[in-house]
Amino acid sequence: MRKTAIVTGGASGIGRAVAAGLVRRGVHVVIADVRDADRVAKELDCDGAALDVTDAEAVAALAGRVRAEHGRLDFLFNNAGIAVGGSAEELTLDHWNRTIDVNLRGVVHGVRAAYPLMIEQGYGHIVNTASLAGLTPAPLMIPYTATKHAVVGLSLALRAEAAAHGVRVSVVCPGFVDTPLLDNANPGLPQTEVGREARAAALRAQGRLYPADDLARDVLRGVALNRALIVAPASARVAWRLVRLSPGLATRVAGSAFRRFLA
């Protein structure tokens, strides 16, 4: 029986690249996204489902339907997310609430939908997409940073529990990747002056962004090895190691970069 996976946010960026990699490996994939799910699913020769991850009932219904139709749910990639940028004083509660709803509650809804099914069948792998911003002090996008730290904590704690049930949990922490995320920063929200400037500066500083297909290979390799944390590319691992070695130094470096940005 073919393995089955749901990939939220699967119509673009990292999600699409992961979905394509899974299809190439013979996995039956369901791309779930708020838009373009059916179109991209047709391109990748898999299934599509319109899904807003902020709707807990819809997420649960999709997980239940996939398991009922295919007899199993092997993977859930909680990948859907948004980027919200700006200095802390510019950001409104709408910025905060929308980021929490999608980036954190969206993951919670996925876990609540899939985890009981995986416990029941005795296997499965939940893969949550966080960010390097979930491991480092990343200014100019504090709501995003806060939710990604929360996703890392959620994932590692759940992994500790889930092992007793035969269920695996991994969290992906990518650096800057060539996806539409930065192009669509603050979606449906007020655009902030500092946020626009920060986005342009990040793109200029990063130079050539890490290709989404390369990250997808890193992710699927990490999943196959059941890694707790999947951090890529190499530059992201360097930044992560700096934080682990000296959190105070990492915070000072981030603060220095913020002051240079404001100058």
Catalytic machinery residues = 144
Q: Which of 63, 56, 54 is nearest to 118 (CA)?
A: 63
DSSP string computed for 25-71: TT-EEEEEESSSHHHHHHHHTSEEEE--TT-HHHHHHHHHHHHHHHS
Cα separation of the two ends of the chain: 59
Report d(CA 227, CA 95) in Å as an integer.
32
Is 8:33 a contact under the CB 8 Å cutoff?
yes
Phi first, then psi, for residue 213 (nearest 5°) are -65, -35
Residue 191 carries which DSSP code? P
Task: Please compute Rg for the chain using Cα positions.
Answer: 18
Burial class (CB in 10 A: 0-12, 13-18, 19+), 121: middle
Q: Which of 211, 221, 113, 116 is nearest to 170 (CA)?
A: 221
